[in-house]
Amino acid sequence: MSSVAVDLDEASTMELVNATSVIAAELARRTPPESAGACIQLAETLATAGDMQEAALAGFVGVVDTGREVQRWGFPSTRSWLRSRLGMREARAKERLTLARQRHRLTQVSSRWAAGDLPLGYASTIAGAVARLDDADCAAAENVLLDMVDQGFSAGKVASFGRRIRDVITERDGTEPAPEDAKRGYERSWIDSTRSLDGGRYIKGWLNAEDAAIWDGTLAPLAKPAGSDDPRDLSERTAAALNSVLSGGHRATKVTVICDLDTLTGGTAPARLTDGTPIPAEQARRIALSAGVSPLLLGKGHLPLYLGRTERFATPAQRRVLEALNPTCVVHGCEVPGALCEIEHVGGWALGSPTALSAKLV
């Protein structure tokens, strides 16, 4: 039977880890006691010890991550190393990496976790909640979430509130005044951007209906999961989509604005987006001239007459209008009935002509 003798005051970190490994191996071989009461006590004690070991592990992972040591061993990232060498699933590897990276900012959490006073589940929940907050908000969030722990809330409840606290704390619990740009009303969108200490950037803002439609039309298709095994959440996929657009990797924005002919010719009737959001007439007229945005012009009976550049071929409604205007082919001297003619762009759709009736479809 092997034995372990360690002087805790003199032992190196390596010696302590080796001793822990030997004890864990022996404990795993033991048959649990038959007493359920004894097993409850042993399980709780062992779980607390495991939490403290996880605190130590987070420290080790943090040093590995900061030193980028894993690249020297052929791994593309610390998370890849955690999956490959430590056998962690993707979710667990992400959780452990977040703990390692947030540990230095969560002084109270780290202290209580290392002392066995805070289970891993709570520590992980709080670390995940503050990952996108700046240092000031991180401290505020830490206090709020630890207070919930002390009140006896379950880890699940704390996690639920932690998902909301990102918005709550970022807005300073509602005490932060809205930026002046937010008071500009419907016409003006605004975005505020501040740089973080680690070189990142915090972004918040508000988009009016027109800009929001362009945002959705551009980013929503790009922010879809890459597959069933895509580990990113919607916020991460949206950031990746935005980066793709900003880096020039995407050009196909699709936004449709629906309006009456009277609106584009000076009327006051509002237009609307496909989701029903109203657009003032003046704004609709401006959108009609914007590249990458397709106005859908409606004639009487709400038949589509103008389809911009997003549609190559004329609609049945446009054909009926053309047949009414031109009983025969528009080519001089041609007597072919209009109903038998093909509809084509005078200037060529590929050359930039829109699918419109205004002397550009014949």
What pLDDT sits at residue 231? 85
CA 67, distance to chain mean position in Å, is 28
Backbone angles phi, psi at 191, to 5 degrees: -135, 130
Average pLDDT over residues 254-283: 73
Structure tokens given for 68: 């980028």
Residue 196 has pLDDT above 70, yes or no: no
CA 27 – CA 206 distance, rounded (Å)? 57
Residue 175 has pLDDT above 50, yes or no: no
Which of 87-91, 262-266, 333-337 has the largest mean confidence? Answer: 87-91
Residue 288 has pLDDT above 50, yes or no: yes
Q: Which residues pair with 279 in a beta bridge?
A: 271
Q: 14 vs 17, 52, 229, 254, CA distance in Å?
A: 5, 16, 37, 59
CA 264 – CA 280 distance, rounded (Å)? 11
Average pLDDT score, the chain: 76
CA 267 – CA 85 distance, rounded (Å)? 68
Higher pLDDT, 53 or 362: 53
What pLDDT sits at residue 222? 84
CB atoms within 10 A of CB 58: 24
Residue carrying the six token digits 């930039």: 352
pLDDT confidence band for 159 (50 / 70 / 90): confident
Average pLDDT over residues 273-296: 64
Nearest to 63 by CA among 81, 47, 49, 48: 81
Question: Alpha-carbon torsion 146, 150, 155, 159, what sign?
Answer: negative
Average pLDDT over residues 20-42: 92
What pLDDT sits at residue 13? 92
pLDDT confidence band for 361 (50 / 70 / 90): very low
Question: pLDDT exceeding 90 applies to what percent of the chain?
Answer: 26
Q: Model-level pTM?
A: 0.47
pLDDT confidence band for 350 (50 / 70 / 90): very low
